Amino acid sequence: MTDNDVLHNFRDILRKIYQNLIKVEAHSYDDWDQIVENLYSITVMKTFFYKYYDSESLRFESYIKVVPIKDNIRIYDIGCENIVDSRIYRDSILVFKAFGDSINILTGGISKKDAESVHFNYTEVVAHTDGFEASDKFLFLNTDDIKFEFVKGIG
């Protein structure tokens, strides 16, 4: 599996189980956090561990880099989808944070009615514009416009 395949597999799992989690009231808050963190650990990080294992592979500084694959990418910001030139992020380090739909915050409260419309077609990323500093900005990018790459820890 490519790094991209690993993350898309994780997203597919979330898509498949989410409607069932609504039925048992495990679709938000701590229940959601625990489920998604465990699934991420097992389906993403464990896969990368076996794929890249060596003594330096999964150091604390490892992360999943997000790379635009199109000249124009869809970004969700301030309540609507916009198309922006991906080159505006060429000097940024884009780091995967979570899959979501950019509207609903699953780690907080969400009604069952709103939960039924949740999809996982956006990726929340942290844009580090000046190394890993306080200039970070959170963005939602359309997952079809990006790819994922595992970056091994250094140092």
* pLDDT tens profile 29-78: 788 889 999 999 999 989 988 888 765 555 557 889 999 999 999 998 76
pTM of the predicted model as reported, rounded to 2 decimal places: 0.85
Least confident of 11-15, 108-112, 124-128, 144-148: 108-112
Asked if pLDDT for residue 115 goes beyond 70, the answer is yes
Asked if pLDDT for residue 155 goes beyond 50, the answer is no
pLDDT of 60: 57
Max CA pair span of the chain: 47
Residues 71, 45, 22, CA angle at the centre, nearest 5°? 85
Q: Which two tokens stand for residue 124?
A: 């929340």
Q: CA 13, CA 121: separation in Å to the nearest integer? A: 13
Q: CA 115, CA 22: separation in Å to the nearest integer? A: 7
Q: Per-residue confidence at 136, pLDDT binned at 50, 70, 90?
A: low
Instruction: Kindly report the average pLDDT of the chain as a whole number.
Output: 85
Asked if pLDDT for residue 126 goes beyond 60, the answer is yes
Q: Which two tokens stand for residue 35?
A: 């489920």
What is the domain count for the chain?
Answer: 1
Host domain of residue 40: 3-151
- pLDDT tens for 89-113 read 888 889 999 998 777 777 667 778 8
Q: CA 14, CA 33: separation in Å to the nearest integer? A: 12
Average pLDDT score over residue span 104-129:
82
